[in-house]
Amino acid sequence: MAKTNELLEELVRVDGVNTAVIVGRDGFVIDGVSHGGNLETETVGAVISAGTGSSEVMGRELNVGIMTQGMMEYSDGMIMMSLVGKDAILAVVADKKANLGYVRFQIKKCMPAIEKSL
């Protein structure tokens, strides 16, 4: 079985992805890999935890169900969040050259192994 860090390294090797972090619901980083220069995994953990909570509230209030994956696009990149079981969140940060469909595919492909590794 692959280690969590190895699985995150695979995600960061996807063209355009610079950070992959698994965060507990409390905002503490469980594991993370960043090749994005000045972006630290602890910073990602803190903001992703809060952002995911807000996204989950939106889903409940708008009657669209439980959040499984969320994506936000910005002028210089994107952030994709996926729930890992009930207690963790996978966050992937990529720049604007990333192929969003391919990034999403890679996340879904490695998610079962990430869940097992935790």
DSSP state of 89: E
- Tokens (6 digits) for 112: 């079962």
Q: Where are the domains of the chain?
A: 4-111
Q: Is the pLDDT of residue 104 over 60?
A: yes
The pLDDT assigned to 10 comes to 93
Q: Taking a C-beta distance cutoff of 8 angstroms, is the pair 103, 93 a contact?
A: no
For domain 4-111, say whether CATH 3.30.450.30 is its number. Answer: yes
The per-residue pLDDT for range 14-36, each reduced to its tens digit, is 999 999 999 988 888 899 888 86
DSSP state of 108: H
Q: Which amino acid is at 99?
A: N
pTM score, two decimals?
0.86
Place of tokens 């492909």: 109
